[in-house]
Structure 1
């Protein structure tokens, strides 16, 4: 999806949904453009249907409004797409029926807590630290998140939503399963600050889940969304003859385990482990074990 693409009926529907969100929450175009980091003129053209929202813009809109990119694009959170929809304890929760100010306060608290936990570690972050970071009081933090444990749980749900929104926005126009699988991997590499912070939350949740049974259901449901996204991509490839048939589930287990292990090595700054090496190892595995015709590894723009 590019910002210069002409408007389409689907694009008009997206523009209409975004306009409704601005009206619902009382945004002016200028303030909303600033909130999502978009030039006001570009926002105006997109809202009028003369310009399509880019993938990163849709992710920013979803983050600011509390909606999902899936709802922005397709009108519902659980629309069938190229990536798995969160379920169970990890499912997206509709924005609370509260004034915009209250929702913005909650979002500001969560953003601050998420950053502090990723940078300093869950056990080193105090409620007072979160209050100071977002310019509010500890009482306000406790109102929205009664316990510190709930902050970590919401940080994980925030991770799931970020990944889901990013994948929905980026994979919707990638019909080839091989190109889509490579793109899916690229979207998970701990390369940018945002992705490194997501990985930090995952690593901390893994550690907490190993010793705290109460946290495991949320972890299982959160990880299941990622596993199902890989699984459905592999199944699409097997159905079209691009990937080997009959081994979809074991390949999904192997591939997700490799991504986890390599990602932890990159995050721990293990000597010899880096994003490019991680990417190369995963691509090599796909070439040798996943493609139905390993000798015909057509390269894509994602490489």
Structure 2
């Protein structure tokens, strides 16, 4: 006999986890719906398992509750191999957010990190003062030094925040895309410096690249953070190669594709004439067609337009 408490579908399981978070943190449905920008009727249907939470909704729920999307979907990180889990010095990005307090509000550390991430992205690491972060976070410089003893730790934490944002976004968006080619194209879309959030993420990455070139102490965190993105691309290419969709040598293709993403993204962020997120997408799609798709798939794609 089936246990009536056992989730019948994936939607039931996700709904149960979100309901548990609401109970844990003392949310009402109305207040939670407002916090995640979701109509209350839609939230009610999703919590009852009658409606699937959309990918962007899961990302907002993870942000408000301090959870990760992987835990919302599967109960643990790394349950499915659609996106790589952060490891090493970047591993904290895959853990529930310690900056959150019950009720979905940020504690002092969380507010400081939010403020620092935005200020560093918008104005540059070397232009942001402790007093600027304290003012934006509504706290004191002493509180900044307590949670982040050095400014360098603020930049490191901003990079981990980048990793967390990308990890949650990719888990939510890629989880249901079975076709490796479609998933690779969606993965590329999720990396484009298009919109304020993604431009800020790119700004942090570019600054970390520059700092890592001259500061060996920062390289372990950078390597581990970048490795998560590279492994996600390589996993997608390996699965596609096994299915006969992509060329066999996924390692070479992953190195070439990630390098191209980096170079094109920097040009877009530098506002190089003739560049844009849309042109970057077109250039990457052309590279995938030319160098990543296996010959039969490439021929079929050309014939079908």
So what's the TM-score if we normalise by structure 1?
0.91
What SS is found at the alignment partner of 1:67? coil
Tell me the equivalent position of 2:172: 169
CA distance in 1, matches of 2:136, 2:36: 20
Deviations 1:146-199 (A, max 9, x none): 222111111111111111111111111111111111111011011111111100
Q: Given that residues 33 and 39 in structure 2 are in contact (C-alpha distance below 8 angstroms), is that contact kept between their aligned partners in structure 1? A: yes
Is the counterpart of residue 108 in structure 1 residue 114 in structure 2?
A: no
Q: Given that residues 121 and 201 in structure 2 are in contact (C-alpha distance below 8 angstroms), is that contact kept between their aligned partners in structure 1? A: yes
Gaps of 5+ in 2: 1-6
Gaps of 5+ in 1: 1-6
Q: CA deviation at 1:48?
A: 2.2
CA distance in 2, matches of 1:31, 1:145: 32
CA distance in 1, matches of 2:152, 2:30: 37
Taking a change above 3 Å as real, the CA distance of residues 182 and 98 of structure 1, as seen in their structure-2 partners, is closer
Over the aligned positions, Cα root-mean-square deviation in angstroms equals 2.1
| Deviating more after overlay: 26-35 vs 110-119 | 26-35
Is the counterpart of residue 297 in structure 1 residue 301 in structure 2?
A: yes
Q: Moved runs in structure 1, 4+ residues, more than 4 A?
A: none
Deviations 1:215-265 (A, max 9, x none): 1000000000000011011101100001111x1101110000000000000
Deviations 1:72-100 (A, max 9, x none): 00000222231111111111233449853
So what's the TM-score if we normalise by structure 2?
0.90
Tell me the equivalent position of 2:258: 256
Taking a change above 3 Å as real, the CA distance of residues 266 and 58 of structure 1, as seen in their structure-2 partners, is same
| Deviating more after overlay: 165-174 vs 261-270 | 165-174
Tell me the equivalent position of 2:227: 224
Is the counterpart of residue 24 in structure 1 residue 24 in structure 2?
A: yes
| Deviating more after overlay: 200-209 vs 276-285 | 276-285
Q: Given that residues 89 and 218 in structure 1 are in contact (C-alpha distance below 8 angstroms), is that contact kept between their aligned partners in structure 2? A: yes
